[in-house]
Structure 1
Amino acid sequence: MAGKLCILVILIYTCKAQLAYSDAITIGCDRQPTDFIADKLDGDNGFRLRFHRHPAVYERGNIYRVSIASILPTSFIGFMLTASDATDVSRSVGTFELLDSRGSMFAPFCTHAVTHTSNMMRTRIGFRWTAPSGDNAPCVLFRAVVVQSRGVWYRDEGDLSLQICPEVTWPSTTPVEPANECCAPGSAKYHMTFVGTWSRLTHPKDYPPDYINHWSPFVGATHSKDYVIWEYGGYSTTGVKEVAEWGSASAMENEIKEQVKVGNVRTAFRTKGLWPARGNMSVTFSTDASHPYVSGLTMIGPSPDWNLGISNVNMCMDDCTWLDQAEFDLLPWDAGTDSGVTYMSANSPTNPQEPIREITSLDSPQSPFYDPSGSAIEPLAKLYIEKICRHGTHCSTNTNTHDSSSGGMMKKPSMMSPKMMKTMPPKKMMPGGEVTMPPKNMHGGEVTMPPKNMGGDGVIMPPKKNMPVTMPPKIMPPKEDTSQVTNTEAIVDCMMSEWSPWSECTKTCGKGKMSRTRMVKLKPRNGGEKCGKKREKKTCNLQPCSRDCKMSKWSRWSECSSSCGEPGMMIRTRRVIEEQIGDGKPCSAVMGEKMCKPGPCPLLYI
């Protein structure tokens, strides 16, 4: 009876915690959301299933990342994902592993499905899937239900279904090309521009003043498929943590250098930061067939551990060409290393560390991004990538050079950024063969274009006169209300993190030492209060340690107390060198004695 009651409680909790689906254990899991009367809508509305690195076939027993994501700025509140035999959808194939246990779980009424835990707004959810092994592994049909809002849902159509079959086992004498390898010739050089749009007008809640808000250096690399700098569902490395919490790129650069040694990185890059958080950051990088991916990140400053960036964007196209242009709307994500919920939260390490995740508008009422309606967060920045030239065949100094095979049109990369990516407008050919691109800002109006970064070190150089500029549009931040800021050179006091917990004492007894540390979050400016000590020490464990009593050696035995006749006594002594302390061995006797029998007394003659 107790077991039945427990099961009933679990089922009631599940119904309250999430959108319900039909009990389909015996009918193939039809995945009909039972909370809705409305029928599903046609198509996929920009929602899609995505396989990491898009394998053409799956390798038996291999592990893959699969996700449901929106390629438009549209969130969803519910989902269900199944992996079935393509010829028998009631039979599950492979096994899922949860990457976000807070936002996803195994479906209670469907033996081969994963679903949501609550109706939280999200734009992406990911899982690991282990492919079946054995010679009879079938083709697998992945199908997804996505609930955008109550009464608006989609299922299986368009990119919400994906079929993938096992690789064919060829005879050992037949060479097999590895799946999804980059086939673009030579290498390509790109110019990347980060344009911040975060301001008091776009994100007014608790927006920090200009003497505090900033972007840290944008740091990253072009790399192979065997190296991942950061990704949703993964865990932050020390390098990612230090960029996320402190804006320090040193540890990240050291991690990238280690990957250079083993051949996983072609180009490492780092821009200068922006203080205050206005303007552009630009850098150039190169890719080749072995290193077609680009990843990078920058800290939102100040913040607990919030960032913007791109992860594993593939610049190599399926048609063996290099991507011409791409544009990304960057949304905030949480590194999972600090538990603060506001820009100015005190240092609060997350223990244990949590997976990297997207920040949503429903995370916390104290969050600057909170919106009770669950609307999507407005992008904090845009990232533009444009190909400068292609090596291996021809690389002109004209930055407008592009592959003739592409027709001047931007192609979608074979692997999307975790954030929204937009296609750029087609280039128009002007007399003389020069290529121009009509600049547009966020509202459709024409704006000036940002100049090229000729040096690749963050220094913006002015464009040459009469030279067409093909860089992405420079989006000027909206004019802010500066009535509350009377002096942009205000005095800024040092801001330091909270003290870390005291370390363990260096000794378990006696006189030991313990220490604690803190870090500088904001350096003083314009004569502000200086920073305090970064490290403190104090003595500890002053109680004495236990010690055995230490005694000297015994002296020689004394002469017998009786010279003849009756028995006598002999003694010997020793002294205490060190007294017993604590639980040590106590001291013993300092004097020993024993009997002695002298010889007979001599006869006396009178």
Structure 2
Amino acid sequence: MDTTKNILTVCETLYHLIILIVTLGQGCNSMPVPTDIPMCTASETAQYSLTFTGKWTQAAFPKQYPVYRPPAQWSNLIGVTHSSDYHMWQRNEFASNGVRDFAEKGEAWTLMKEVEAAGERIQSVYGILSAPAVVGGTGQMNTQFEVFARHSYLSFIVRIVPSPDWFVGVDSIDLCDGDRWKDNVSLELFPYDAGTDSGFTFSSPNFETIPQDKVTQITASFPSHPANSFYYPRLKHLPPIAKVTLTRVKKTNQIISLPAEPTQSNQLPTGNEIEDKLINTPLDCEVSVWSPWGLCKGKCGESGVRHRTRYVLMHPANNGAACPLLEEERKCFPDNCL
């Protein structure tokens, strides 16, 4: 009898539990399963050659172009191959401590520790790649890397030198197309602000952004401040400051390029850079506000003149608007004439 009661009690409990689950299921929306991310089904690994080309010229970016201490140049490239659930950096998201250190100072230690931790925790990172720095605004750096179906994405970052916390890079480009690997990919690159330093110019002193901002793309009109080194109000879009070309190559034994010291040979424009048309960005003259009017100079009882002046903040370049008059005068009558 007791056994029968126990069985009935268990059955009643299971019945009520099933009713509860069904009721909750009807009143709640199930968690959607992402279906917009294509799955790579390529059976073999693929090897790629990466060529980064700097296009940071004084003709294309004449405003405050750094010519010394230090001159315009690029840091070494740091990149990873990974799965879709990992991001080295993302637009409109906060930069990690590693990205902050690299964008501000070119230090990669913290960033590498973050990459290593992501690889160990969720096995989302497959490989790390690097390429040597470019010691001029133009020039190229090259490296090779390998991808496979589970880790078919590439991300990388290159610091703009000098700058407060500006960089260029790629966030999660997928090199796989269904069951095959893409043969060639070419992307134009534009500057980003890491959101950790509040400087406006290439040579701004360190001024920490508190609270930290999100990563944003720098444009010809944003940040909307005349002091901004990339502020060109006449342009709808900034010209690309760099580009990256990815080419699938035949497999070799060496798949990862080790860091190398920057060399003068990196400055030589070769390969893809020759294809690009020379960009000349017009830079209009910028002048200061007028000074106060000076004293009226003239003889007593007669009209005199007074002057005011302004000075050039930015000289024009590439057929930009010429500077206006820097001195004005107007008639006056001397005050306190005896």
TM-score range, shorter chain: 0.5 to 0.7
Q: For 1:94-493, what aligned pairs fall within 5 Å after superposition?
A: 134=29, 180-210=38-68, 211-262=70-121, 263-318=123-178, 320-362=179-221, 363=223, 364-389=225-250, 395=251, 456-457=257-258, 473-475=272-274
Q: 1:303 to 1:227 in 2, by over 3 A?
A: same
1:61-98 C-alpha deviation (Å, 9 max, x unpaired): xxxxxxxxxxxxxxxxxxxxxxxxxxxxxxxxxxxxxx
Q: Which sections of structure 2, spanning at least 5 residues, go unmatched? A: 1-26, 263-269, 279-338
How much does 1:195 deviate?
0.5
Amino acid at match of 1:475: I
Q: For 1:455-604, what aligned pairs fall within 5 Å after superposition?
A: 456-457=257-258, 473-475=272-274
The secondary structure found in structure 1 opposite 2:119 is: helix
- Find the counterpart in structure 1 of residue 335 from structure 2: none
Q: 1:327 to 1:374 in 2, by over 3 A?
A: same
Amino acid at match of 2:257: G
Amino acid at match of 2:103: A
Q: Higher relative contact order by CA 8 Å / sep ≥ 6: 1 or 2?
A: 2
1:486-527 C-alpha deviation (Å, 9 max, x unpaired): xxxxxxxxxxxxxxxxxxxxxxxxxxxxxxxxxxxxxxxxxx
Q: Which sections of structure 1, spanning at least 5 residues, go unmatched? A: 1-131, 138-165, 169-176, 390-394, 398-452, 461-470, 480-606
How much does 1:181 deviate?
2.4
Q: 1:133 to 1:331 in 2, by over 3 A?
A: farther
The secondary structure found in structure 2 opposite 1:254 is: helix
Amino acid at match of 2:44: G
How much does 1:356 deviate?
0.6
| TM-score (structure 1 length as normaliser) | 0.37
Q: Is the 8 A contact 1:217 1:249 kept in 2?
A: no
Q: Distance between the aligned counterparts of 1:179 and 1:282, measured in 2? A: 29
Q: Distance between the aligned counterparts of 2:273 and 2:37, measured in 1? A: 39
The secondary structure found in structure 2 opposite 1:248 is: coil
How much does 1:294 deviate?
0.5
How much does 1:474 deviate?
3.9
1:133-181 C-alpha deviation (Å, 9 max, x unpaired): 627x9xxxxxxxxxxxxxxxxxxxxxxxxxxxx769xxxxxxxx99632
The secondary structure found in structure 2 opposite 1:475 is: helix
- Find the counterpart in structure 2 of residue 571 from structure 1: none
The secondary structure found in structure 1 opposite 2:117 is: helix
Amino acid at match of 1:359: I
Q: Is the 8 A contact 1:384 1:472 kept in 2?
A: no
Amino acid at match of 2:41: C
Q: 1:477 to 1:342 in 2, by over 3 A?
A: farther
How much does 1:352 deviate?
0.5
User: Once the two structures are aligned, what percentage of the paired residues are identical?
Assistant: 30
Q: 1:167 to 1:221 in 2, by over 3 A?
A: closer
Q: Distance between the aligned counterparts of 1:472 and 1:183, measured in 2? A: 33
Amino acid at match of 1:183: T
Amino acid at match of 2:274: I
Q: Is the 8 A contact 1:197 1:477 kept in 2?
A: no
1:465-499 C-alpha deviation (Å, 9 max, x unpaired): xxxxxx962438999xxxxxxxxxxxxxxxxxxxx
- Find the counterpart in structure 2 of residue 18 from structure 1: none
Q: Is the 8 A contact 2:145 2:255 kept in 1?
A: no
Q: Is the 8 A contact 1:226 1:264 kept in 2?
A: yes
Q: 1:133 to 1:322 in 2, by over 3 A?
A: farther
Amino acid at match of 1:184: A
Give the structure with higher Rg (CA).
1
Q: Is the 8 A contact 2:79 2:155 kept in 1?
A: yes
Q: Distance between the aligned counterparts of 1:178 and 1:473, measured in 2? A: 33
Cα-Cα RMSD:
3.2
Q: Is the 8 A contact 2:195 2:209 kept in 1?
A: yes
Q: Quick check: which one's helix share is greater?
A: 2
Q: Is the 8 A contact 1:199 1:477 kept in 2?
A: no
Q: Is the 8 A contact 1:230 1:236 kept in 2?
A: yes
Q: 1:290 to 1:384 in 2, by over 3 A?
A: same
Amino acid at match of 2:191: P
